[in-house]
Amino acid sequence: MLPQDHRTIVLAAARANAQPHRKGWLFGGALVVASAMMTDAARAQDATVITSHGYNFYGQLKYGPDFANLDYVNPDAPKGGEISVWAQGAFDNMNPYAAEGTPGSLSTSGYETMMTGTADEVTSSYCLLCETLEYPEDLSYVIFHMRPEARFSDGIPVTANDVAYSYNLLMEQGLPSYRAAVSQIIAGVSVIDDLTVRFDFVPDAPVRDRIGTAGGSPVWSKTWYETTGARLDEGRLEISPGSGAYILDSLDPGRQIIYRRNPDYWGNNLPINIGQNNFDTIRVEYFADSTAAFEGFKAGEYTFRQENSSLSWATQYDFPALSAGHVVKVTLPNGNLPGANGIVFNLAKPQFADRRVRDAMALVFNFSWTNETLQYSLFSQRESFWQNSDLAAQGVPEGRELELLQSVSDLIDPAILTEPVTMPHTSDAAQQLDRTNLRAALALLEEAGWVAGEDGKVRNADGTTLDVEFLSYSPTFDRIVMPYVDNLTRIGINATYNRIDPAQYQQRKLDLDYDMIIDGYSNRLDEGLGLTQRYGSEGVGDVFNPASFSSPAVDKLIQVVAAATDYEEMAAGVRAIDRIMRREMFIVPTWYNPNFWVAYFDMYEHPDPLPPYALGQLSFWWYNAEKGDALRAAGALR
């Protein structure tokens, strides 16, 4: 389905007098001729060309070409003030695209893309660096017409040459999984003129991912990269100029980063930006751990905190600044898809090869006891990889979902076709280790060849114990993980808990050097070929696939999802994938929070209601100067 609303249909024949341009593309700074530009005559024979200010594959755009501002912002929000947040651990570079090291928090924020989404739509994108885009009905290419006023922070214009250079830099030096996925969609990029760039798509590429992939690539300064000789994949503290609203003001390596709103930002008056980018500065304070960070917040060392600890939220917000009314504590609705988080098995480790072992280990995680005893009953249990959405598998498969599962029936457990979707086990909340689940877990381990010896430890036929290291970096998880590790030892597994410093953890995570961690996957309400990087075999060995999950059946169904031409087909494919992955139990489902827990010094304001898909504290909240002055006069802030 092609967009029908808010678009202009332009016949190619109407461009018969257009000036012809040479088509080329940039790779590693060298100009390479890709093919001759379509001649005017050939273009005249082309199908209708759609010109628009935005794109939605499924049809309707919420905002028309003449919208004044997004519905959920305050168009009169004042500019000024500072918001400060916290980050854990340290950072050793400011290049978020480096293959190694820990990038600084928010280090991607200064870079823009050709198009951007909104917080009240799922599948729409609107022009940002571009002014308009045009594409034929077969989506064989897209041409972006760029805004002539767009500038990098050093004042150099953003041109089509930068777009092409950035794309090819990603293809040369970006993550392998990115290159693998994008090369299936984009055939090449051509610079038509300084303000016009064309992306040609692989003929059999999934049509739904084409324009989104092209419009979503970051754009960097070709001049800066060629002048400095910097590489995209190397760590560095120097930041390349971006075209975004914020620029790096200062940094104290490992301790603090300050971003400053660029007073000369080229896009201040764009309708998509009205009511956004309101703070003069955004400050990030680093703390060794969440405990130290919370103490820092109470002392006013930073001013906005998004809480993720149920213990802290339920018991520790009783400090003087809150009692005096200087700090606001509030629960706000979160309509985002919850992260598919939980206790992740690294399937690259041989001890997890048998699903019965994973099922047994999952059985001794007691969500009910954990939630009631340790988390104050503030969470819900996650069931699906696409929790609380229409994409979650339900009951017994039927209709199109069943047909898709039957198409890969030789690659999956036959029970998936006839049994209800795998649900998390139930447990007795009154005891840490549910005895019924303990017996079931022991039986599964024995079936898998792990038999308990006289010392209580399970061993395989070779006499090897089942060794598992649970890796963590945050003391917040200690009270959650340690009872689970204790339960694992009680069924004979030689389990240990190892909390290391954040820098070591980051490196070991990048190297996939762990047995089990608390982690997960970030999914979307509109899925496509991006599933390959997360759940496809090509993503194994990539940080975006922490479980190293791989399934030939899922690989095939990802192609179905990517090729879907309507929402119903896409959703059926995702449900089938969800059903298979839940059966494989490579993540023990834990909890999710349907709300944002936030606390902040009472000098910030936000639209009411908030949009469904973003908290937006750094985007469309704003600073109330009178309240800020009052807090400082009262001694609540430094």
Euclidean distance between CA atoms 562 and 573, whole angstroms: 9
Band of residue 33 on the pLDDT scale cut at 50, 70, 90: very low
Q: Is residue 292 part of a domain?
A: no
Using the predicted structure, report yes or no on whether residue 6 has a pLDDT greater than 70: no
Using the predicted structure, report yes or no on whether residue 32 has a pLDDT greater than 60: no
Give the least confident one: 44-53, 131-140, 237-246, 299-308: 44-53
Band of residue 208 on the pLDDT scale cut at 50, 70, 90: confident
- Could you please report the per-residue DSSP string of 453-521? -TTS-EE-TT--B-EEEEEE--GGGHHHHHHHHHHHHHTT-EEEEEE--HHHHHHHHHTT--SEEEEEE
Provide the 10 A C-beta neighbour count for residue 415: 10
Mean pLDDT of 222-239: 95
Using the predicted structure, report yes or no on whether residue 23 has a pLDDT greater than 70: no
Give the least confident one: 99-103, 312-316, 549-553: 99-103
Q: Is residue 341 part of a domain?
A: no
Using the predicted structure, report yes or no on whether residue 24 has a pLDDT greater than 90: no
The token pair that represents 625 in the structure block: 């100067």
Q: Is residue 334 part of a domain?
A: no
Q: Are 395 and 419 in contact (CB under 8 A)?
A: no
Give the least confident one: 30-34, 110-114, 323-327, 393-397: 30-34
| DSSP state letter for 208 | H
Percent of the chain with pLDDT over 90: 83
Band of residue 2 on the pLDDT scale cut at 50, 70, 90: very low
pLDDT for the residue numbered 17: 29
Mean pLDDT of 309-331: 96
Q: Quick check: helix, strand or coil at residue 625?
A: helix
Q: Is residue 199 part of a domain?
A: yes
pLDDT for the residue numbered 97: 87
Q: Tokens 């924020």 correspond to what residue?
A: 109
Mean pLDDT of 156-163: 98
| Of residues 528 and 484, more confidently modeled | 484
| DSSP state letter for 79 | P
Mean pLDDT of 308-326: 95
Q: Which domain does 503 fall in, by range? A: 349-592
Q: Which of 186, 202, 228 is the last residue of a domain?
A: 228
pLDDT for the residue numbered 565: 87
pLDDT for the residue numbered 179: 86
Band of residue 99 on the pLDDT scale cut at 50, 70, 90: confident
Q: Are 22 and 193 in contact (CB under 8 A)?
A: no
Q: Is residue 94 part of a domain?
A: no
The CATH number given to whatever domain includes residue 185 is 3.40.190.10
The CATH number given to whatever domain includes residue 356 is 3.10.105.10
Using the predicted structure, report yes or no on whether residue 13 has a pLDDT greater than 50: no
- State how far Cα 199 lies from the chain centre: 24
Using the predicted structure, report yes or no on whether residue 348 has a pLDDT greater than 90: yes
Closest CA to 611 of 185, 119, 173: 119
Q: Is residue 308 part of a domain?
A: no
Using the predicted structure, report yes or no on whether residue 10 has a pLDDT greater than 60: no
Using the predicted structure, report yes or no on whether residue 295 has a pLDDT greater than 70: yes
The token pair that represents 581 in the structure block: 């992955």
Mean pLDDT of 512-526: 95
Band of residue 537 on the pLDDT scale cut at 50, 70, 90: very high
Band of residue 47 on the pLDDT scale cut at 50, 70, 90: low
Q: Are residues 377 and 506 in the same domain?
A: yes
Band of residue 513 on the pLDDT scale cut at 50, 70, 90: very high
Mean pLDDT of 494-500: 97
Segment of 14-18, 209-213, 271-275 carrying the highest mean pLDDT: 271-275
Q: Is residue 622 part of a domain?
A: no
Mean pLDDT of 222-238: 95
b/e for 302-314, b at 16 or more Cβ within 10 A?
A: bbbbebebbebbe
Q: Are residues 360 and 499 in the same domain?
A: yes
Total tally of structural domains belonging to the chain: 2
Q: Which of 228, 255, 277 is the last residue of a domain?
A: 228
Band of residue 14 on the pLDDT scale cut at 50, 70, 90: very low
Mean pLDDT of 438-464: 97
Using the predicted structure, report yes or no on whether residue 7 has a pLDDT greater than 60: no
pLDDT for the residue numbered 527: 93
Euclidean distance between CA atoms 587 and 517, whole angstroms: 10
Q: Which of 228, 244, 259 is the last residue of a domain?
A: 228
Using the predicted structure, report yes or no on whether residue 73 has a pLDDT greater than 70: yes
Using the predicted structure, report yes or no on whether residue 19 has a pLDDT greater than 70: no
pLDDT for the residue numbered 16: 27
Q: Is residue 298 part of a domain?
A: no
Mean pLDDT of 253-274: 96
Percent of the chain with pLDDT over 70: 93
Q: Are 405 and 416 in contact (CB under 8 A)?
A: yes
Q: Can you give the C-alpha Rg of the chain in angstroms?
A: 26
